[in-house]
Amino acid sequence: MAEEKLPEKLVLMASRFRTERQLRRLSRLPSSTTDKVSFGVIGDAEPSRFWIYRKLFNREGVFHDQMHAVQSLPLTFTVQLGDMVGKGNAANYEAFLRGLRRVWSGRPYLTVCGNHDRSRPNGKSHSTFYRGLFGRANYFFEHASVRFVVLDSSAKRLTKAQLRWLKLVLDVPGRKIVFTHMPPVQLSLWGGIGKIHELGGFIGGAKEFAEIVSAAKVSRVYMGHVHAFGVQDHGGVRYVLTGGGGSALFPSGNDDSFHHFLTVEIGPTMIRDRVHTLDGKVVAIPHGLVILPTHPVRA
Ligand SMILES: [Fe+2]
């Protein structure tokens, strides 16, 4: 079957959301040179690729409702953690971008590439459409003396070149934050072990990834992919799972699968994560708290 071409009209539609453009907007904000920043993190949006799951578990419009809520807050920028579409084709991206344009307030909006944003969510695939619409899938930026790194784990592995790049861009003093779509496999319940759980976390490069973020003293790694919320401390790094952006919540019997987004406040001596639930509740995550989903829902 011939590969679908990226339509020019879609490229135009996405142009305002291109990463380089959003980063230019961000660099012009006064907070760029201060020592405080607040931002939003929102997880998976895709409505599931199986019609039966869509019918039974998906709630139409949740992602865009949450995007509207996060964009209404006085935050400097928002990061979407990937899996914006069920499968990375033109029709899905067009529908997503139409919805995004309706709720976007104009504040910088940055993306992460998820496995569903590729040509095939769980098979041999490419990210040509994602990169054609948004630009680079691995990138970093500075804001308020914090280094933010976006890492592409959408292929369910990290290459040696990515790991070398990650080590280099984290080799700076000060606060560092990493955003990536999939959890590394050694986060046990979110990553799983072996074939059975491999959909839950990336395996290739996972050990090296954890070693690099630990050595660099990264403050947080934010991840999606698993449609749940949780916090784990691993190797001195806090990993925050925030996969409840709007995707279907399959039954797991756990309170940790719920729709939500995060807001994060960083100051010279503090970092504070807050969970915002769909019904408007806001809960700060205490520094000592570790929440492990017992039966996570996997993408
Ligand atoms: Fe995913």
For residue 30, the CA-to-ligand 1 centroid distance in Å is 34
What pTM value is reported for the model?
0.92
Give 84-124 pLDDT, tens digit per residue.
999 999 999 999 999 999 999 999 999 999 999 999 887 78
Task: Give the residue with greater pLDDT, 29 vs 296.
Answer: 29
Task: Give the residue with greater pLDDT, 171 vs 292.
Answer: 171
For residue 151, the CA-to-ligand 1 centroid distance in Å is 14
Confidence of residue 50 (pLDDT cuts 50, 70, 90): low
For residue 291, the CA-to-ligand 1 centroid distance in Å is 20
In a domain, 31, yes or no: no
Confidence of residue 298 (pLDDT cuts 50, 70, 90): very low
C-alpha distances (whole Å) from 35 to each of 119, 186, 265 are: 40, 33, 11
Exposure of 287 by Cβ count < 10 A (0-12 exposed, 13-18 middle, 19+ buried)?
exposed
For residue 114, the CA-to-ligand 1 centroid distance in Å is 5
Residue 145 has a pLDDT of 93
What is the average pLDDT value for the chain, to the nearest integer? 88
| Segment (H or E) for 96 | helix 90-103
Which chain residues have CB less than 5 Å from ligand 1, an ion?
A: 83, 114-115, 225, 299
Give 122-169 pLDDT, tens digit per residue.
778 999 999 999 999 999 999 999 999 999 999 999 999 999 999 999
Residue 51 has a pLDDT of 67
Instruction: Quote the domain boundaries for residue 72.
Output: 37-284
CA dihedral 279, 259, 36, 215 (to 10 degrees): 150
pLDDT greater than 80 at residue 288: no
Residue pointed to by tokens 């496999």:
185
Residue 218 has a pLDDT of 97
Residue 296 has a pLDDT of 44
pLDDT greater than 70 at residue 290: no
> Domain count of the chain?
1
Confidence of residue 230 (pLDDT cuts 50, 70, 90): confident
- Rounded to an integer, the average pLDDT of 235-248 is 92
In a domain, 74, yes or no: yes
For residue 105, the CA-to-ligand 1 centroid distance in Å is 26
In a domain, 10, yes or no: no
E-strand ranges in 18-104 read: 37-42, 77-80
Q: With pLDDT > 70 as the criterion, what percentage of the chain qualifies?
A: 86
pLDDT greater than 90 at residue 78: yes
- Rounded to an integer, the average pLDDT of 78-88 is 96
In a domain, 293, yes or no: no
In a domain, 30, yes or no: no
Rg of the chain taking only CA atoms, in angstroms: 18
Residue 16 has a pLDDT of 96
Task: Give the residue with greater pLDDT, 18 vs 58.
Answer: 18
In a domain, 47, yes or no: yes
In a domain, 28, yes or no: no
- Nearby residues of 30 by Cβ (< 8 Å), 6 or more positions away: none
For residue 152, the CA-to-ligand 1 centroid distance in Å is 12
* CATH assignment of the domain containing 111: 3.60.21.10
In a domain, 27, yes or no: no
For residue 77, the CA-to-ligand 1 centroid distance in Å is 22
For residue 32, the CA-to-ligand 1 centroid distance in Å is 31
Task: Give the residue with greater pLDDT, 23 vs 258.
Answer: 23
Give 208-229 pLDDT, tens digit per residue.
999 999 999 999 999 999 888 8
